[in-house]
Amino acid sequence: MKNPLKKMLGTLAGVAMLGMSAQALAEPLKIGYSDWPGWVAWEVAIEKQWFKEAGVDVQFEWFDYVASMDAFAAGQLDAVAMTNGDALVTGATGARNVMILINDYSNGNDMVVAAPGIDSVKDLKGKKVGVEIGFVGHLLLLNALQENGMSEADVELVNVPTNETPQVLASGDVDAIVAWQPNSGMALQMVPGATAVYSSADEPGLIYDVLAVSPSSLAANRDEWIKVARVWYRVVDYINDPKTRDDAVRIMASRVGLEPAEYETFIEGTKILTLDEARGFFEKTDGFDSLYGSSKLSDEFNVANEVYKDPQPIDDYIDATITDAL
Amino acid sequence: MSEAWFAVRKELNPRRRTVLAVLSFLIPLLVWALVSYLPFLWHPKVEVIEPGDVSYFREGMQVDRDVFERELEAMRTEGLTPPEGRRTNPIYLPAPHEVATALYTAFTTPPERRNEQWLHESLADSIQVIFWGFFLSSLIGVPLGILAGTYDVVSRLNEPFIEFFRYLPAPAFGALAVAILGIHDAPKIAIIFIGTFFQQVLVISNTTRKLDPALLEAAMTLGAKNVALLFKVVLPGIITDVYRDMRILLGWAWTYLIVAEMIGTSSGITWFITQQARYKNFDNVYAAIIIIGIIGLTTDLILAWLGRRIFPWQRHGARA
């Protein structure tokens, strides 16, 4: 009776030790990413093993978007792909981070999709809107309302996880939803006659998609992060070069389980930035055409709408020097 | 074979039992096939084949039947090109043959990228998570349950707390598990553990208490003491029932798999299901759900068969 039990416990302890030692030995930079074209693009570098060529040890972990920010907040990741607005939300609620790289800005992929019969943002007055409260979709909605002389009080918000918004709109329980691709496109497809009454193309620069790194990892591995950024621009070149674009799209499409032709439309609503373009957005100006300006406006929105209480020190959240070093 | 089909508390003969078992699968399948292949039964949607002059119709779009009829009427009266369409079921109810095809292609599609997995590899991941969660739970839960069912002191010391804890929904520990255990398999295993363990202790202790007291009295009359009672009477007395409990509990562990795999990195069969659902490939979603069902049922049948081999004295039929 005793021996098999001992053996089992031994094996168990062994497994546990193995897990721990594996963690202690190699410490790659852990990066969380999720289903957004500007981040799925990292897949090209992973598939081509460009990180290895660049001599940087990284480990990409695929998540649902909110789960990826949770994992980052729990200290399980060195960096996470998120929007600049969500970087502030994540930072304000405890997980400080520094944006070192701008992947893209949303150029139409984020939308307010309204049921048939609602043709403009103004028509949303008094209606129910399904949105993931406190995150990027919420910000887009508030911006849309403000531009039309309305505020959050003019609509009724229903908290819906972004990836369930198409079904929720189709169910008829809400009159509009806020989502990004692929969910926004699916909502348009599932509800005939539905239209995008507002999208990020109406306010380019409202939503930047970035790589946000924990301050401690950035301080300890600065050179490694520069290498990561260098690999990113290799990816951007690969996507932009007409000769290799098809291959890039194929890799990205397979990450999310779509046909390349279908995925191409999602990339269109995402303005993936070249190094020169990105440098321009790292300039410190006030409007939406700067990461600083956009983040400042997001911050004001977030405070005004009580997403969090205290204004965030924007300068601490952005480190342009990594991109400048390339 | 002139026995009655409906006889109170009387077992049917083996042949009839087999027929009914097969029917229990065929009937739902038949209903599904009828709803899928006979357009007049349901088919509440129309798939647009040719949009005609309707501004918002697109090829391949599904619209409600009355919307389609209305637009058709409108186009006719205005003298514009009417749309063409075919009646169909909603996108979330694919036909059996579509699901069968999806089931086949899901397994035969090779991974396209270096870090992508075959479907059977994802499944192996999921099974591993279940295995470790259930194994660790049983390692503690079974002995504790038996002790609690045997000794009142163990029962009073543990069961009130366990009764409290079992009402806490396992998924609620998701974020906590990630913070403590990381993002890979460990927090998922923890969720399965939490979902299984507390029920397990209570179920096993109850089973232990159901042991015929006459057996214990007889043994004590013959001079059996504490430890001997436990190992020579209680354990052999309940072992077949505990085995049956474990089969049921394993099924419970499976029901926690999907929530467990939502936590941390996207992995296993759940990644496949949620990703396919996000892009509305419901044929793949059904295929994956069916795979889980098949794995579960097969495991249970194997365990039942094993049980009959290990415990040949078990009353035939009554417990299987």
pLDDT per position as a tens digit, A116-131: 989 999 999 999 999 9
More confident residue, A96 or A182: A96
A18 has pLDDT over 50: no
Q: Rounded to an integer, what distance in angstroms lies between the CA atom of residue B93 and that of residue B104?
A: 18
Q: Rounded to an integer, what distance in angstroms lies between the CA atom of residue A213 and that of residue A210?
A: 10
CA of A176 vs chain B CAs: smallest distance (Å): 18
Q: Which of A64, A77, A166 is opposite residue B266, by nearest beta carbon? A: A64
User: Looking at the domain assignment, is residue A252 inside a domain?
Assistant: yes
Residues in chain B with CB shorter than 8 Å from the CB of A12 are 136
CB of B115 within 8 Å of a chain A CB? The answer is yes
Residues in chain B with CB shorter than 8 Å from the CB of A254 are 112-113, 116
User: Looking at the domain assignment, is residue A12 inside a domain?
Assistant: no
Same domain, A212 and A102: yes
Mean pLDDT by 10 residues, chain B (320 residues): 80 91 94 91 87 80 84 87 88 89 87 80 92 95 94 94 91 86 91 94 94 88 86 89 93 89 86 80 89 92 91 61
Same domain, A101 and A117: no
A3 has pLDDT over 80: no
Backbone angles phi, psi at B75, to 5 degrees: -65, -40
Q: Give me the pLDDT at residue A43, please.
A: 95
Contact A192 B262 (CB under 8 A): no
pLDDT per position as a tens digit, A25-65: 458 999 999 989 999 999 999 999 999 999 999 999 999 88
Q: Give me the pLDDT at residue A2, please.
A: 41
User: Looking at the domain assignment, is residue A139 inside a domain?
Assistant: yes
User: Which of B183, B230, B280, B283 best tests the A interface by mutation, with the highest count of A CBs <10 A?
Assistant: B183
Q: Which of B61, B114, B279 is opposite residue A182, by nearest beta carbon? A: B279
Q: Is the pTM of this model over 0.95?
A: no
User: Looking at the domain assignment, is residue A279 inside a domain?
Assistant: yes
Work out how many CB contacts closer than 8 A connect A with B.
84
Contact B91 A74 (CB under 8 A): no
Q: Which of A61, A70, A256 is opposite residue B275, by nearest beta carbon? A: A256
Which of B169-186 are b and which e, b meaning 16 or more Cβ less than 10 Å from the residue's Cβ? ebbebbbebbbebbbbbb
Q: Give me the pLDDT at residue B316, please.
A: 53
More confident residue, A185 or A209: A209
Contact B57 A46 (CB under 8 A): no
Same domain, A184 and A213: no
CB of B287 within 8 Å of a chain A CB? The answer is no
Give the CATH number, domain containing residue A196: 3.40.190.10
* DSSP character at residue B9: T
What string of DSSP letters covers A50-106? HHHHTT--EEEEE--HHHHHHHHHTT--SEEEEEHHHHHHHHHTT---EEEEEEEEE
pLDDT band at A91 (very low <50, low <70, confident <90, very high): very high
pLDDT band at A16 (very low <50, low <70, confident <90, very high): low
Number of independent structural domains in chain A: 2
CB of B265 within 8 Å of a chain A CB? The answer is yes
Same domain, A188 and A218: no
Taking alpha carbons only, the member of B128, B249, B236, B232 closest to residue B195 is B249
Backbone angles phi, psi at A50, to 5 degrees: -75, -25
Same domain, A126 and A142: yes
Same domain, A196 and A232: no
Q: Give me the pLDDT at residue B10, please.
A: 87
Taking alpha carbons only, the member of B275, B8, B254, B314 closest to residue B131 is B254
> Chain A residue closest to B280 (CA)?
A186
Round to the nearest angstrom and report the end-to-end CA distance of chain A: 64
Q: Rounded to an integer, what distance in angstroms lies between the CA atom of residue A107 and that of residue A208?
A: 10
A15 has pLDDT over 60: no
Q: Give me the pLDDT at residue B319, please.
A: 43
Q: Which of A8, A61, A257 is opposite residue B279, by nearest beta carbon? A: A257
Contact A251 B113 (CB under 8 A): yes
User: Is the preceding omega at residue A260 within 30 degrees of 0, hence cis?
Assistant: no
pLDDT per position as a tens digit, A200-211: 999 888 889 999
Domain finish residue from A179, A202, A225: A202
Domain limits at A189?
111-202
- Average pLDDT over chain A, rounded to whole? 88
Q: Which of B114, B264, B276 is opposite residue A47, by nearest beta carbon? A: B114
CA of A306 vs chain B CAs: smallest distance (Å): 23
- The set of residues, in sequence order, having a beta carbon less than 8 Å from that of A289 and lying 6+ positions away, is A205, A280, A281
Q: Give me the pLDDT at residue B315, please.
A: 61
CATH architecture of B108-310: Orthogonal Bundle (1.10)
Contact B266 A62 (CB under 8 A): yes
Q: Which of A62, A182, A190 is opposite residue B278, by nearest beta carbon? A: A182
pLDDT band at A12 (very low <50, low <70, confident <90, very high): low
Counting every residue, how long is chain A?
A: 326
With a CB-CB cutoff of 8 Å, which residues 64-83 of chain B face chain A? 64, 67
* Cα–Cα separations (whole angstroms), residue A201 to A146, A147, A196, B237: 16, 14, 11, 72
CA of A239 vs chain B CAs: smallest distance (Å): 17
What string of DSSP letters covers A186-218? HHHHHSTT-EEEEEGGGSTTSSEEEEEE-HHHH
Same domain, A140 and A197: yes
Q: Which of A43, A63, A189 is opposite residue B113, by nearest beta carbon? A: A43
Amino acid residing at B122: S
Residues in chain B with CB shorter than 8 Å from the CB of A61 are 183, 265
Same domain, A119 and A180: yes
Same domain, A96 and A221: yes
Same domain, A196 and A140: yes
> Chain A residue closest to B114 (CA)?
A47
Contact B113 A192 (CB under 8 A): no
Q: Please count the helices (runs of H) and the strands (runs of E) in chain A.
A: 17, 11
More confident residue, A24 or B162: B162
Contact B57 A76 (CB under 8 A): no
User: Looking at the domain assignment, is residue A11 inside a domain?
Assistant: no
Contact A71 B281 (CB under 8 A): no
Contact B62 A192 (CB under 8 A): yes
Contact B178 A76 (CB under 8 A): yes
pLDDT per position as a tens digit, A231-241: 999 999 999 99
More confident residue, A68 or A204: A68
Chain A residues whose C-beta is within 8 A of a chain B C-beta are 8, 12, 19, 32, 35, 43, 46-47, 49, 61-64, 67, 70-71, 74-77, 163, 166, 182-183, 186, 189-190, 192-193, 250-251, 254-258
More confident residue, A179 or B314: A179
B200 with B252: CB under 8 angstroms? Answer: no
More confident residue, A93 or B23: B23
- The set of residues, in sequence order, having a beta carbon less than 8 Å from that of B281 and lying 6+ positions away, is A257, B102
Domain boundaries, chain B: 1-42, 45-88, 108-310
User: Which of B72, B173, B239, B266 best tests the A interface by mutation, with the highest count of A CBs <10 A?
Assistant: B266
Q: Give me the pLDDT at residue B318, please.
A: 46
Question: What integer is the mean pLDDT of A133-141?
Answer: 87
Counting every residue, how long is chain B?
A: 320
